[in-house]
Amino acid sequence: MEHLKVNREVLRRLARGRVLTTEDLSKILHVSTSRAARAAVDLKRRGLLIQVQRGIYASVPLEVKPLAFQPDPFLVVLRALGEKYAFSYLSALVLHGAEHTVRRTVHVSAPDVRSRLRTVGRFPVHIHSVDRNSWGHATMRVRHGGASVRVTRPERTLVDLASLPNAQQDYEEDLQAFRTLVPRSDPRKLLREILTAPNITTRARVGHLLRVSQADTAVPPALLESIRESVSGASLSYFATKPKGASNRLDAEFRVIYPGRS
pLDDT at 262 over 70: no
**pTM, two decimal places:** 0.89
CA–CA separation, 250 and 256 (whole Å): 6
Q: Tens of pLDDT along 166-179?
A: 989 999 999 999 99
Say if 95 falls within a structural domain.
yes
Specify the number of domains making up the chain: 3
pLDDT at 38 over 50: yes
Say if 2 falls within a structural domain.
no
Q: Which domain holds residue 113?
A: 72-152
Residues 141 and 82 in one domain: yes
Residues 54 and 109 in one domain: no
CA–CA separation, 34 and 32 (whole Å): 5
Radius of gyration in angstroms for the set of CA atoms belonging to the chain, rounded to a whole number: 22
Residues 54 and 102 in one domain: no
| Of 5-9, 29-33, 167-171, 173-177, the least confident | 5-9
* SS3 of the chain: helix, strand, coil, percent, to 5: 45, 20, 35
Cβ contacts of 254 within 8 Å, gap of 6 or more: 204, 205, 207, 208, 211, 227, 228, 231
CATH code, 35: 1.10.10.10
Say if 3 falls within a structural domain.
no
Average pLDDT over residues 160-166: 95
Residues 64 and 140 in one domain: no
What value does the mean pLDDT of the chain take? 91
CA–CA separation, 153 and 239 (whole Å): 23
Residues 64 and 76 in one domain: no
Residues 207 and 175 in one domain: yes
pLDDT at 64 over 90: no
Say if 29 falls within a structural domain.
yes
Average pLDDT over residues 83-104: 93
pLDDT of residue 62: 81
Say if 127 falls within a structural domain.
yes
Average pLDDT over residues 90-100: 93
Q: Considering 152, 184, 213, which residue would you say is the last residue of a domain? A: 152
CA–CA separation, 123 and 119 (whole Å): 6
pLDDT of residue 12: 84
pLDDT at 147 over 70: yes
pLDDT confidence bin for 1, thresholds 50/70/90:
very low
Residues 176 and 246 in one domain: yes
